[in-house]
Amino acid sequence: MRILITGGAGFIGSALVRHLLVGTDHEVLNLDKLTYAGNLESLASVENHPHYQFVQADIGDRETVGRALREFQPDAIMHLAAESHVDRSIDGPGEFIQTNIVGTYQLLEATRTYWSSLPDERKQAFRFHHISTDEVYGDLHGADDLFTETTPYAPSSPYSASKAASDHLVRAWQRTYGLPVLLTNCSNNYGPFHFPEKLIPLVILNALDGKPLPVYGDGLQVRDWLFVEDHARALIKVVSEGQVGETYNIGGHNEQKNIDVVRAICALLEELAPGKPAGLGRYEDLITFVKDRPGHDQRYAIDAGKIERELGWVPQETFASGLRKTVQWYLDNLEWCRHVQDGSYQRERLGASA
């Protein structure tokens, strides 16, 4: 297939692009605005691949997106472009409304125009795959409750509310216009090339620098962790084999309390990076409990039984194996991390837009 990916320079998007180019014969057009979270260094290994193209564009720019669609002639769109950091959405929700809601609307309209022009056979085969989050479901209260594909939406943050709105738009465009859509809602991703403001990379890099390891509240919030490479494999399964109109929840079967995640990282660093900053006893000594953020959900957990039953996908990594690979990757790729931390990675962004 020819697949247009929005947000392909982001964390999950870049993992998906790498998997498609290395593990399949599909052709990929990566359309990314290159905001702060878009990093072309994450795609250095495939940037010269003969089946890869990159276009810097905003999904809200319908004219540019429409031109890309006409020129590339995709068989599928995988829509990952989004503002995605909860803390940033609390501080400034406007960007989330603009990108996640208005941007998705503009993309849907550009896609509908393109899809309507296709011959019948290609129109039938076309897919619009919208990638979303488990946070649209809100908070789980029972210790054994799980999010299913029919769990009612109850978003808590501006971020999750904007993603919920985009999910509703995608479903409406199928119901009203017949656009052949697929939706996936995933749990917390982690792994290589994760932007350092997120919990796991933040803890790794702060620990190596001897800085505090901030933990919200009591640290007992529970998340279901999904290794990003497993997620990429699931997304390819869905766009290739999923049933039009269906939603598939993707989870790692790895529920962990935030504080336990932080302690597990510290334990791995004791083994893999024993040379600590001067004066530091144990990495765990850096753990610092900070004021909880507003509207912080207590527990997320996904029932991923549907995608296993219908498409045969199961995660390959346990949390222990995936976390070890993640910590080792950061230790081996500190240059990539420093380029993000000092902002120098954005020079590529400026060069791409020149």
Which residues does the annotation mark as catalytic? 134-135, 159
How far apart are alpha carbons 174 and 245 in whole angstroms? 7
CA 164-57-94 angle, to 5 degrees, is: 40
CB half-sphere exposure, 244, CA atoms < 13 A: 14
Torsion of CA 174, 176, 179, 180, to 10 degrees: 30
345's tokens: 């990675």
How far apart are alpha carbons 76 and 89 in whole angstroms? 29
Q: Which residue type is seen at 167?
A: D
Quickly list H helices, 73-157. 86-91, 94-96, 104-116, 120-125
Q: Which residues of 117-145 are buried (b: 16+ CB within 10 A; e: fewer)?
A: eeeeeeeeebbbbbbbbbbbbbbbeeeee
